[in-house]
Amino acid sequence: MSEIELRLSNVDPPDPEPKRTIYRDIVNLPDPVKLGLTIRYFNHDDVGLYFQITGSCTGYTFGTVNLGLLASGADAYQNLDEFASRAKPSASDLPDGEMEENITLILKAYTDSGYTNLKWTYERIVTVHWINSADAAFTVDFLNNFDDGTVQGWAATAELNASVSLAVATDYVLSTPYSLKNTVSGTYTGGAQTRARIGKSFTTPNKDIVYAIMDIRMHHETGQGGIQNCKVQWNSTLLIFLGKPYADTSSGYVPEDKWIRIVVPLPKNTAVDIRLIQESKAGSGTAWRFWMDDFKLISK
């Protein structure tokens, strides 16, 4: 085992890390496009180390993020918002609507807080899989843009110490006039672990390639705990994790007040319950708001 390690999953060492692929859809993305992701890093050394991460790939510009001190035997999560950028691929770059490239994530560990005495380096290659959902190769099987003024079959669930209110909204939208908005309120005076989700069930088409694409936006209310994590699942299968596992803190660890594009692969010809789950430490009253727009399933 390496003395340090970088993972993009919740699988613990020494079990092997599953292959990780980041899926992206070019439709209506800005140019240049930004890349964010949540990493998990490990210190297997017998001393505390100061960690730093950057990356490498032709055509990309990467940031360098100092992650701070991590104790011996510990691990930590970190969301890297707008960690990298590149020129937006054009439709002609994606023959048959798809293209792949590999980026290298470079984790470094130093013995000093000034990040000058390098002790260990660990690299992980991650595949970025681009799609063009507007390409003629794809069929749009489901489109929920909420522009008929209804929630189009989506439902909100209060999982823990929360109440929920799901409706269409006009305050933040991508396709006018409506988006879907879930308002989550904490129900525990003094603050407690609070969790809520939205979801909808689909049967995926009987085709070899199926993707769900959605745009989401999050905002926590002033005086309430920040949103600590956001998960996307089909049934109980975790597809996306942003942020950090819940802890008894009022800090927030996910990008807020901006639209985030999420693309996930799904199995074909399968009944799936798509779930988007947020978790926070929240007191009583409105804790956070969650928007979604332009959800679609595409296949080929």
Range 259-288 average pLDDT:
97
Q: Is 151 left (phi over 0), alpha (psi -120 to 50) or beta?
A: alpha
Q: pLDDT tens-digit profile of 246-262?
A: 999 999 999 999 999 99
Tell me the backbone φ, ψ of residue 92, rounded to 5 degrees. -70, -20
pLDDT computed for residue 262 by the predictor? 98
**Residue 209 token pair:** 């390639």
Predicted confidence at residue 1, as pLDDT, reads 67
Cα 98 to Cα 290: distance, rounded to the nearest angstrom: 30
pLDDT > 90? residue 225 = no
Q: Is 206 exposed, middle or buried (0-12, 13-18, 19+ CB in 10 A)?
A: exposed
Rounded CA-CA distance 129/124 in Å is 16
User: CA quadruple 64, 105, 259, 228: dihedral positive or negative?
Assistant: negative
Model confidence at 4, in pLDDT bands (50, 70, 90)? very high
Mean pLDDT for 30-49 is 97
d(CA 246, CA 250): 10
pLDDT tens, position by position, 134-181? 999 999 999 999 999 999 999 999 999 999 999 999 999 999 999 999
Q: What is the mean pLDDT of the chain?
A: 96
Do 3 and 107 meet the contact criterion of CB atoms below 8 Å apart?
A: no
Give φ, ψ of 96 to 5 degrees. Answer: 60, 20
Show Cβ contacts of residue 208 under 8 Å, excluding neighbours closer than 6 positions.
268, 300
Which residue in the block uniquely carries the two structure tokens 């560990």?
109
Contact 182, 158 (CB under 8 A): no
Domains and CATH numbers, the chain: 4-131 (2.60.40.10), 139-299 (2.60.120.260)
Q: In the prediction, which pLDDT does 135 show?
A: 97
% of the chain at pLDDT higher than 70: 100
Kindly tell me if the per-residue pLDDT of 290 is higher than 90: yes
For residue 122, which of 177, 15, 44 has the smallest C-alpha distance? 44
Q: How far apart are CA 89 and CA 91, in angstroms?
A: 7
